[in-house]
Amino acid sequence: MELTLGFSPCPNDTFIFDALVNHKIDTKGFTFNTALEDVETLNQWALQGKLDVTKLSFGVYFKVMDRYELLNSGSALGRGCGPLLISKGPIDVSKMADYKIAIPGINTTANLLFSTAFPEAQNKELIIFSDIENAVLDGRVDAGVIIHESRFTYQQKGLHKLMDLGQYWEETTGHAIPLGGIVIRKDLPADVKSQIDALIRSSLDYAFAHYPSLPEYVTAHAQEMDESVMRQHIDLYVNQFSLDLGAEGKQAIARLQQAV
């Protein structure tokens, strides 16, 4: 059986899915037509119901719960791993309503967390996550919400952290930060959904068993990233929650839904 599968080219996702899509594990007769896209594209596709299985932001998951079911494996949740609000220099965060803010997508969890912290900030510009640092440096925006590997590179570019939005979430709610999850179409047979969940878990088990070695699938899709940054990325975003959401992960997601 062939299924369409979407995830990002970021190291955490390629690390999780490498063994699955490249048949390093027994895929139980399943094959995957993969699409590697930035998270906001995947979010838009999820709203359209385009793919059978897809990574998406938890910020958009709540809008597609009628169509998609959340899997236990493959998610990105954690502590100390949230989006950061950055600027070229110190600015007065009490006047956030006066600034133009770059966000990586209207439906991203990053935007949801930013909006929770700064509900008055309405002047937003949608910019692909990998371009936000440069948009801040060039002065196109006053500040930006960064995600993924930008968390490890912004200081090297002379940018200034205004707020750790994940830390704000943790301190105000006490919960882990739900960033993104893996969902599957609800109308697929129950045994297919359970098998795919188990295969993602097996794929991640395989990846952890060979870590810190990085498969070519990871390095090929992160060509401009140093291997040490790739490992930082994986270490931060791939964890026990990625293997299984568990009760703690599900409670964090439920709390985030209240913020929508």
In this structure, what are the phi and psi dihedrals at residue 247, rounded to the nearest 5 degrees?
Answer: -65, -40
Q: Is 221 a catalytic residue?
A: no
The answer to whether 113 is a known ligand-binding residue is no
Query: Is 56 a known ligand-binding residue?
Result: yes
- The reply, when asked if residue 109 is annotated as ligand binding, is yes
Residues 6+ apart with CB under 8 A from 67: 49, 185, 186
Longest dimension (CA), the chain: 56
Cα dihedral 167, 172, 175, 180 sign:
negative
Q: Which of 23, 148, 175, 210 is catalytic?
A: 148
Is 57 annotated in a binding site? The answer is: yes
Known binding residue 27? Answer is no
* Residues assigned a catalytic role: 148
Which residue ranges make up the annotated binding site for substrate?
Answer: 55-57, 109-110
Q: Which residues are annotated as a binding site?
A: 55-57, 109-110
